[in-house]
Amino acid sequence: MNFTKTISCLLLVNIAFSSCDGFNWFAEFEIEACDAGDISVIRTLVSQSEATIELDMDVDFDGEIDPLEVGWQFWEDGRLVHWICSDVPSPWYIYNYNCGLSGEIPPILTKLDKLEKLHFDNNNFSGEIPTQLCDLKVSNKSDYWFRISENKLCPPFPDCVEETNLIQDATDCYEKK
């Protein structure tokens, strides 16, 4: 399917959804209709990533990265169910980018309890992976659904993290010790 047909299909899908349902880039979302807890988690990640965040995500050009601008998101019944923050196609340029999320993965990420797909690979996360991450539905699925590889995460890794997600730049892990 070519790009134009894909975009057209996504727009049609969004027409059938409410004010916080569908794909974030192809729908007019009302942030107030989205789950406040899900929005809070995204705001936390944006706040802690201020120095490294990818500014191409500022699709409304207001100088700030708003929660609904962070990567590709799919919302259903007001809840975040898919969140892709790696190899995201730029809406303005012909290249893909990563979200530039950084810092430690906060345990509050587990508040995204409706999440079915999470791609955080190729960002700048550091520190240890919180064991609470194993509480997410996606954590015990294949790397098609859950990706956190190619960050700067340190061992020990929780049992729920598949081997394919263990490819990390651990240089900083050993320099601190």
Rounded mean pLDDT of the chain?
Answer: 83
Residue 17 clears pLDDT 60, i.e. is over it: no
| Residue 79 CB neighbour total at 10 angstroms | 17
Does a structural domain hold residue 30?
Answer: no
Q: If residue 111 lies in a helix (H) or strand (E), which one and from where to where?
A: none
pLDDT of residue 79: 97
73 within some domain: yes
Residue 2 lies in a domain: no
Q: What is the pLDDT of residues 34-73, one digit of tens each?
A: 999 999 999 999 999 999 998 888 888 899 999 999 999 9
Which range marks the domain in which residue 161 is found? 35-175
Largest Cα–Cα distance in the chain?
A: 53
Q: pLDDT tens digits for 88-141?
A: 776 666 667 789 999 999 999 999 999 999 999 999 999 999 988 888 888 666
Output the domain CATH number for residue 117: 3.80.10.10
Q: What is the per-residue pLDDT for 99?
A: 92
Here the tokens at position 110 are 């587990």
Domain count, the chain: 1
pLDDT for res 6: 47
pLDDT at 26 over 80: no
Whether residue 149 lies inside any domain: the answer is yes
SS3 of residue 72 by DSSP:
strand
What pLDDT does 160 receive? Answer: 83
User: Per the domain annotation, does 124 fall within a domain?
Assistant: yes
pTM for the whole structure: 0.82
Q: Is residue 98 part of a domain?
A: yes
| Residue 108 lies inside a defined structural domain of this protein | yes
Q: How confident is residue 10, by pLDDT bands cut at 50, 70 and 90?
A: very low
**In degrees, to the nearest 5, what angle opens at C-alpha 122 toward C-alphas 55 and 73?**
60
Residue 23 lies in a domain: no
